[in-house]
Amino acid sequence: MGLITLKSLLIITIISVILAIGDTKPTDGELVNVAKLDMFVDELPDMPKIYGFEMKNGVHVSKSLEIGMFMKKWKFHRDLPPTPVFAYGTSKETATVPGPTIETLHGVPTQVTWQNHLPQKHILPWDPTIPTAQPKQHGVPTVAHLHGGIHEPQSDGNSKSWFTNHFNQTGPTWSTKTYLYNNNQHPGALWYHDHAMGLTRVNLLAGLLGAYIIRDPSLEGPLRLPIDRPLIVFDRSFRADGSIYMNGTGNNPTIHPQWQPEYFGDAILVNGKAWPRMTVTRKKYRFRIINASNARFYRFYFTNGLSFVHVASDSAYLARPVKVNKFLLAPSEIADVIVDFSMVSSDSVILANDAEYPYPTGDPVDEVNGKVMKFVVKGGRKRDTWKVPRKLISYPAPGDTVSVASKTRYIAMYEYTSSTDEPTHLYLNGKSYDEPATEIVKVGSTEVWDVINLTEDNHPLHIHLGLLGALEQRELVNVEEFKACMMKINDAMKCHVEKYARGKIVPVPAHERGWKNVFKMRPGCLTRIVVRFSFIHSNESYPFDSTAEPGYVYHCHILDHEDNVMMRPLKIIS
């Protein structure tokens, strides 16, 4: 053997530092072969509910909540040892993964003080060579973001507004302990999760996520839809000691010792249990399915052909229900669906997944990650008073708002690679997060964004504060030629985008033609979306100052991409 080179020593040193940052050494480092775990042995948990309002003198009034982040142990499967996790809850004893479902009412504000009770070191490895929240002393930086929420920027969970245990250390844009959620927006399903700079992927892997519902009984009651239940789906891998496994070595270890472009777990979990089962009767059920995975897409279907009826997409109702047998859900998307189990003749049905990973050109699923959960169907057909009405809740259609759009922008998605053709980082519009905002929009305005995906991945684009609606997806022709120009000068107009954006039109699925918080940007396509920075249900102005600091952001919601650093600031002006 030859002498150890300086480069090799550097690699060893950097990896040693990364491993020292988190408590990553397990008592038994062997990975669990999850194919040997029995499926459908754990009952689907119904996550605890916390109400963001209370009744006083017959009137619903605002309520202040204190929700903590705690390190504890959680059983993800009957035959796995308890797993160290970070969990949301009102106490360590009641904290869960996912966290409690926060129930709120339209027009009744909720205040939440998010409290960090986490230990001095993380339970997972993280990479300080990407833009990351790094406290001067020990501590796990966290900051909660309410995904889909329309509220003041100080309460939005800006990535640099992080804080450690008991607010001992705070990020450069931190300003308040208590967040105000006005709940003045349209009714629908949202979810909350950690958003700390460079740590979103590891903090969510550790367990920091949960559902948030805004209800409006005056609008939703007459629809007579079934009672809903969140199904929060995510994937994890485990060591034999029960701990969460995350690869501690990056694709380019001399550049980023730990960061990898996507995390995929072997086990599929729903509401914190691996391949659970739920007992149902032969009637209609409503499920708000939230994809809380770091990078995994799901193409859901029932193995017996049972259909889904979509009533909402992300946080907004559709104008009319849409019936499908299969649908694709990207990370952070929400599908609000009705399933009628009276149509099932057998005593069980399996919810399955056949989406490649990474999507769309990755590996096919197998018998393990191709199964999601099982529904055990009991008894005969029940008298069912729940309905699926012909009409739901109508808002101005995205396409009808284009005529008032004040501006059209080009947003380009780039992936950069090393000499070994492995990804090193991803940018929006060729800029890092720390460069000044170029997307400066007027409050109350509507804009058209032409999103150009020059990568091989499908990127779910999420815009804070704004709602978006997809108008058209068009394949690019001569992609490599166009990409070469864009990589050189980063200007769609000067690269004559009109010459390339003339390929086949890919229709927007019917159940995704309303207002959304996320839309899937197909690789090699220009996707035209309309973005609205005002309420969709009224002509009222925001009841808060959206122009205040620290502003908002937009980003890819593949968490490993967002962290490194496919995210840009979004500035609102008067």
- Rounded to whole angstroms, how far apart are CA atoms 251 and 438? 31
Q: How far apart are CA 152 and CA 542, in angstroms?
A: 9
| The residue count for the chain | 574
Paired with 210 in beta bridges are 192
Residue 335 · residue 301 · CB < 8 Å: no
Structure tokens at 53: 């309002």
Contact 123, 86 (CB under 8 A): yes
Q: Would you say 428 and 568 are in contact if contact means Cβ atoms under 8 Å apart?
A: yes
Give Cα separations from 4 to 15, 250, 257, 413 (angstroms).
Answer: 16, 21, 19, 39
SS3 148: coil
Please list, in sequence order, all residues whose beta carbon lies within 8 angstroms of the beta carbon of residue 270, skipping any fewer than 6 positions away.
44, 231, 232, 233, 276, 372, 373
CA distance 260 to 127: 10
Q: What is the pLDDT of residue 112?
A: 98
CB 123 within 8 A of CB 73: no
As averages over each run of 10 residues, the pLDDT of the chain (574 residues) reads 40 43 51 96 98 96 98 98 98 98 98 98 96 95 98 98 98 98 98 98 98 98 96 98 95 96 98 98 97 98 98 98 98 98 96 98 97 96 89 97 96 97 98 98 98 98 98 98 98 98 98 98 98 95 97 98 98 97
Is residue 338 within 8 Å of 204, Cβ to Cβ?
A: no
3-state secondary structure at position 497: helix
Q: What is the DSSP letter of 568?
A: E
Could you identify the residue written with the tokens 């108008």?
471
Beta bridge partners of 1: none
* 346 Cβ neighbours under 8 A, 6+ residues apart: 304, 377
Kindly report the backbone phi and psi dihedral angles of residue 372, in degrees, each rounded to the nearest multiple of 5, phi listed first. Answer: -115, -60
Strand ranges of the sheet holding 459-463, from the earlier edge strand across to the other edge: 439-442, 567-573, 552-556, 459-463, 518-521
CA distance 235 to 268: 5
Distinct helix (H) and strand (E) counts, the chain = 6, 34
The alpha-helical segments, DSSP class H, found in 196-260 are 200-206, 217-220
- Determine whether 57 is exposed, middle or buried from the number of CB atoms within 10 Å of its CB (0-12, 13-18, 19+): exposed
Residue 227 has a pLDDT of 94
Query: Residue 63 to residues 54, 107, 166, 186, 356: CA-CA distances in angstroms?
Result: 6, 12, 22, 19, 43
Cα 196 from Cα 552, distance rounded (Å): 14
Beta strands in 15-94 (DSSP E): 49-51, 53-56, 59-74, 83-89
Identify which of 513, 509, 515 has the alpha carbon closest to the alpha carbon of residue 537. 515
> What is the structure's pLDDT at 28?
55
Kindly write down the DSSP assignment for every residue of 482-494, as one continuous string: HHHHHHHH--TTT
Question: CA-to-CA distance for 283 and 114, rounded, in angstroms?
Answer: 38
First and final CA of the chain: distance in angstroms?
A: 67
Which residues, 6 or more positions from 488, have their beta carbon under 8 angstroms from its beta carbon? none
In what helix (H) or strand (E) does residue 559 lie, and over which residues does it extend?
Answer: helix 559-562
* Strand 518-521 with 459-463, pairing: antiparallel
What does the block give as tokens for 490?
Answer: 């980063």
pLDDT in the model for residue 548: 98
Q: Which residue has the tokens 């490993």?
A: 560
Angle at 564 between CA 559 and CA 569, to 5 degrees: 90
Say how far apart CA 80 and CA 277 lie, in whole Å. 17
Rounded Cα–Cα distance for residues 427 and 570 (Å) = 15
What distance in Å separates the CA atoms of residue 369 and residue 183, rounded to the nearest whole number? 36
